[in-house]
Chains A and B, each alone.
Chain A
């Protein structure tokens, strides 16, 4: 029998020679699905590798010392600290621009003091260290930074690339463990590269003084110590981003497998006769299954390989955007060069095969249980379709109850938790809706059939729809899922965009923003106070503190009168302190989410020393207005009233907002920036020039509101390029699934329509009928996708976002998006139906008659 296997296989495959379209569909489905999936996995793998490298650095976190007065640290400060016995090390950081315009981070270190691990210990002699320390020095760089330097990997070691400013880098040494876009060198070399006309003595001032985490129990006099642990780990944030990507990829895979399933089902059905003949000829059922499995594997191999190759291509196209997004959102450096471990390839193949087996399993099972004696039945699928619908209904109900359970569980979770459960909830909702779609469609058709009793043609059309439903349902399910997700994601992105831009407008009220050395602010403030055109000076300050305790008054307002017990708990959370000037131009616009009483009283309390906290912190610690917070301060702990919550999109850290003058008095926080509000018609440019000249400010010390907005918007737009691209691709795959299904059954459709034509119905009318049938089904699916899409949007903004970022977005619904979604659904269906309809229209009467003969 084994000998017959090649013959059997050849016979089976011969089917595709006669139906190349089916083969193309199968391969297309596999290809698209695995391309999207593996593309996303490739992006994730590369990004994770980049984090792993950055994390290796995070492992050896450093505490940081800064001067309390905000003035820059100098070399002499550093030497004085060393001579006081503190194990500190200097670090110089800056940006250099490559010739292609890429900005790279330059870090200068002193290897002699940086680590307690002995740098000389392993090398026995100081030769390699000497090369690092002495001219021409060395540039340590990861291979994925080379592209930005315009250098090929094989030429990299020892190369001295030129920067945009004409300076050359010290000879390169490849250090794959470094994060991307980072150049590491001796501090002396870095000082020379960073020296420019504005800072000729670069290196006399240093960016930071660091020390091993925990090496100092308290900061030296005049300095502040910032501990390495950060309130929100970028790992968590980026993880949610990747989960997002993975979910989209998985969706693409599922939708792609719908196509495969449809095409495989058809291919089997059309070969039932052939299979039966083979069995009658003596081929055993087992050989048949083996042959079919080999066919599946072959198809799978071709599809998956093509898919992975395209996935890598796709990833290369998207990676720069992903890298930019992660870089600007979370500060996580991601290499722009794909970095794929071997298991990536194996994993891609495995997932594609698993999907194929899932999709083809049913087909194999049916082939194995072939009834030899049963005559060929074109509607094999329809057998037991009612039972199948019942199963779908029950399955949908089950999945929905899982979704409900997840929701209830999430409800009792502390806010900010349950990212995975959030995604699970959305997936369950999608699946339940998909499962319920066919029973729903069947029900609607049945109802309509009942109504159209007296209109025979429509009655026929509906009955015919019922007949088509088993085969169409999979494609419609795919369409529903894709449409709903598309709607959900695009509403979320759109809502985010609106909120973010609004929020920027509210926050950026001054036309001019000043970033000067912190020692200069007092003078500048005094000078600006004299200027007639300046109406307000909005000084900001920054510092850090530890949230030590939270004291919540009893929740029920009714026992206000009685001395209600309050609930107190302690924490050790590091928070940002941000000081703003609550001026007349700022307070009316500054968005607040919740207050104790109302906005005016919140701002009044704020001016007198109450604080606001951002939504992230409130969510994470369960704070609400009226609570009292105890913060660590240089002169002992301070307890303040929490007066309001405010949105703070994009900030990974918990933030406590207080009036600038309060922050200065209580925390000795240095000035950070100043917004300069001017009267209408004032000449901003003249003021800018006067300020620059008077105080000798550098060119980038003053920025325009418009400029800041432009940069912020740019970062934002980049963030969602990927989401949008993947979204469109997913929808395209769903459209393909529908098209594949309809094309596959075009021939059988002709068999259904030919008798009607023979009965005297004009061909044009039949063609239109055909279009109306599918268009109607798609419209129905599209209409269903709208509420589902809104529910998904809600899940994204109210559950996923809160879990991932700590802030909730307002739920926006965009009617235009909804109309577009509906239009997409209908036009995809019409397009898919148009080709068979057109073919039917054009078919010669002879051909139609011959169909009739076959019937």
Chain B
């Protein structure tokens, strides 16, 4: 209980820090984002004083003290009020984020869990059969594949399997003729469109799990209780799985949270390549169009998602390892 409470406290503190960083970022930058945004709007025609005031209010051009602005900003964040997008005017930023978020959550969440399971299994195998081809192939392949830039893997798969072979759709998350609902036909269509992006993330993130699990597993294989189990004449497979692997998974789980940030970052690039309508593609659109309110909100949402995932892993760790609860 104390463990959970301290983790909740840490989560709240980290959330506050992330929200504050999001408040400070545009204010620390040279020049004024509001000026840049107004200059962009002015290309289409004269900017009325009321529009100007609205933009300045959104981007935090000083009206009142910094402290008042900060309180106002915190109030807006708590109410999910992130203002109006420039690019998709008059849609609110909150509704745009709400449409994009499920695509990324399902894609990244599902692939990460699959990669974690497969990577851990391959890592166990590599450590157990150390020195054989079962070790060399995943280790060398994993090292090489984790050095692939996400967007490059995506471009290659898109080119060879999408354009040349024509096996998979080349863009979007569902056919342009389909309307999003929960019918079987639509879900199958969405699944079909997600295969290439999912494979890209899987290929690039699998190596890290293999290497991480392999090295912790090799450490546990050297521990005394493993030697003791071997001396007792237990079957090598029992020793490897019930004794060594079970204890090696925990340290690997801690790196799960930290690796997640990298996977999320990579998936942003993957979404750009496949025009996948998730958070990453929206962020790209926001950046290209200098849509600062949308960009700030997306950064905040992405950060909060990663923080929450880390929190879940921490709580899970506490349940799996009784020592942490003391």
A binds B: no
